[in-house]
């Protein structure tokens, strides 16, 4: 087996990827929290404080799982310890938080994150993930972070990615110079380079959508799904439907094998279900950096100007370039 390259060695060998040592420190914080959450998830069935509902709801009105809150706190602590983050917004918290210590007020970056996406799958042992997005602050150094720091277009991301707690635990990120994937080595407890310069196949034969919504989505999308299920597509065979119910897991599979993930606007979610800031932007950044596309079906995700912190949801078509383009061609202009 060739020599394993731990994340920190990769970063120092590719310092050009990191416009600043601060970013590599932030990635170190994500690595630290990701390792801790991975340990908790691996023993979830055995420890009472891990599984099940916490008996509270988050700002989204969703039942919080105990591990949601544990993950949220682990990432907040790691970001604060890094000294590079002046403030954050988390899907699990009511508002953004400006760190109060002097060092933080002089920090350059803000982070937006979903600490544990797909957490309803924890109790059934299905892959879940953390999604993160880092921006340079707009507000002046020396002051507290402000809301505008959190409401930037996705094109302004300087670091984005995810931790996937799957059959193995992976960290996948981009700083705008391509996408690299690292797998947690249980022996050394290091994330080691396992997927260098990841490229999303231009086309594939997998589509991920909750087809329970098929009677509530627009006709063009319904026609696209019929196309996927027909012999008219490029394979001459029906595509395979693969929907895990965990965005990070569906996205990661499509990144490797090619495919499309769709969460449209439906009657129960008129603007779509997925959150622009915490889910759509970071994965759109990764998709585009790997040669894929991410759209609302009509507009590039990364160009949307966020208007509000929590409830801004968008329809989401993300994945292989030719598949997203094909899906969009079925939608009314």
List residues binding ligand P6P (CB under 6 A): 117-118, 210, 245-247, 273-274
Shortest Å, Cβ 283 to ligand P6P: 10
Give 60's DSSP letter.
T
Shortest Å, Cβ 313 to ligand P6P: 10
Angle between helices 247-257 and 281-289 (to 10 degrees): 10
Going by C-alpha positions, the residue among 78, 181, 175 that lies closest to residue 136 is: 175
Toward ligand P6P, which CB reaches closer, 35 or 273? Answer: 273
Shortest Å, Cβ 187 to ligand P6P: 30
Going by C-alpha positions, the residue among 176, 84, 76 that lies closest to residue 116 is: 76
Toward ligand P6P, which CB reaches closer, 118 or 282? Answer: 118
Toward ligand P6P, which CB reaches closer, 58 or 320? Answer: 58
Toward ligand P6P, which CB reaches closer, 105 or 313? Answer: 313
Query: CA-CA distance, 206 to 201, in Å (whole number)?
Result: 11
Adjacency order of strands within the sheet including 240-241? 240-241, 206-208, 260-263, 316-319, 293-295
Is 297 buried (19+), middle (13-18) or exposed (0-12) by CB count in 10 A?
A: buried
Shortest Å, Cβ 305 to ligand P6P: 22
Toward ligand P6P, which CB reaches closer, 25 or 210? Answer: 210
> Helix, strand, coil shares of the chain as percentages rounded to 5?
35, 25, 40
Residue identified by tokens 């921006």 is 135
Q: How far is CA 280 from CA 56, 126, 211, in A?
A: 25, 21, 20
Going by C-alpha positions, the residue among 219, 217, 317, 224 that lies closest to residue 269 is: 217
Region of residue 109 (left: phi > 0; alpha: psi -120 to 50; beta: else): beta
Toward ligand P6P, which CB reaches closer, 225 or 274? Answer: 274
What phi and psi values does residue 194 have, to the nearest 5 degrees?
-130, -20
Shortest Å, Cβ 89 to ligand P6P: 17
Shortest Å, Cβ 229 to ligand P6P: 18
Toward ligand P6P, which CB reaches closer, 253 or 273? Answer: 273
Shortest Å, Cβ 245 to ligand P6P: 5
Toward ligand P6P, which CB reaches closer, 87 or 118? Answer: 118
Shortest Å, Cβ 322 to ligand P6P: 22
């Amino acid at each position: 087996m060739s020599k394993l390259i731990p994340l920190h060695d990769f970063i120092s060998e590719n310092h050009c990827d990191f416009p600043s040592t601060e970013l590599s420190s932030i990635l170190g914080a994500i690595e630290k929290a990701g390792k801790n959450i991975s340990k908790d998830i691996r023993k979830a069935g055995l420890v009472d404080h891990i599984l099940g509902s916490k008996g509270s709801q988050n700002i989204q009105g969703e039942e919080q799982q105990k591990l949601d809150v544990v993950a949220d706190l682990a990432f907040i602590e790691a970001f604060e310890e890094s000294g590079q983050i002046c403030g954050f917004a988390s899907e699990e918290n009511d508002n953004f938080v400006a760190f109060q210590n002097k060092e933080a007020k002089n920090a350059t970056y803000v982070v937006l994150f979903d600490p544990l996406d797909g957490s309803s799958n924890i109790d059934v042992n299905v892959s879940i993930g953390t999604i993160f997005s880092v921006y340079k602050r707009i507000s002046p150094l020396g002051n507290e972070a402000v809301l505008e720091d959190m409401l930037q277009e996705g094109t302004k991301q300087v670091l984005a990615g995810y931790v996937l707690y799957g059959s193995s635990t992976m960290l996948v990120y981009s700083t705008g110079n391509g996408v690299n994937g690292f797998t947690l080595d249980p022996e050394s407890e290091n994330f080691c380079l396992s997927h260098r310069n990841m490229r999303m196949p231009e086309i594939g034969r997998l589509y991920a959508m909750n087809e329970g919504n098929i009677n509530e989505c627009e006709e063009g999308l319904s026609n696209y799904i019929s196309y996927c299920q027909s012999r008219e597509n490029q394979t001459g065979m029906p595509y395979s439907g693969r929907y895990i119910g965990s965005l990070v897991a569906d996205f990661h599979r499509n990144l490797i094998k090619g495919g499309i993930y769709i969460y449209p606007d439906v009657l129960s979610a008129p603007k779509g279900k997925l959150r622009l800031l915490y889910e759509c932007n970071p994965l759109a950044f990764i998709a585009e950096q790997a040669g894929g596309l991410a759209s609302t079906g009509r507009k590039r995700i990364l160009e949307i100007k966020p208007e509000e912190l929590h409830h801004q949801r968008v329809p989401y078509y993300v994945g292989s370039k030719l598949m997203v383009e094909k899906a969009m061609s079925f939608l009314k202009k």
